[in-house]
Amino acid sequence: MIRRIISAAVAVALTAAAVMTAVVAAAFALYALLEGPLGRPGAAAVIAALAALTAAVTALVSLRKAEPPPPAEQGPADRILSLAREKPILAAAAAVAAGVVALRNPKIVAALVSAFVAGKTTGKS
């Protein structure tokens, strides 16, 4: 397994080196071609502009691929659970507040439980 990973890493490194060699050789060839009509500074400027353009296009393509897919629609329970995972202190405070309300007024808890049980039984039949 490790041997395959190392082989893949070596293959990627060799491919990257070959591509870089080709890019540098192409830049030198284009510089030599443009040196006559534009002079040394002009040819260097054109090569620099092409390198910057290539880098910008590569970055834009990479960023487009890196965008996460849009999130799927969530129900209320999923939103509450994701909020509790993201902000556990807020979830703990809400649980304590719910416990305090339940201790002060047990009729509310009884009404919620009976409504929940009634909803479950009517949904099954």
Rg of the chain over Cα atoms, rounded to whole angstroms, equals 32
pLDDT of residue 35: 86
| pTM assigned to the model | 0.43
pLDDT of residue 13: 92
pLDDT of residue 117: 77
* Mean pLDDT of each 10-residue bin along the chain, 125 residues long: 88 91 88 88 88 87 72 73 81 81 78 75 57
Do the beta carbons of residue 46 and residue 34 sit within 8 Å?
yes
pLDDT of residue 123: 55
pLDDT of residue 121: 67
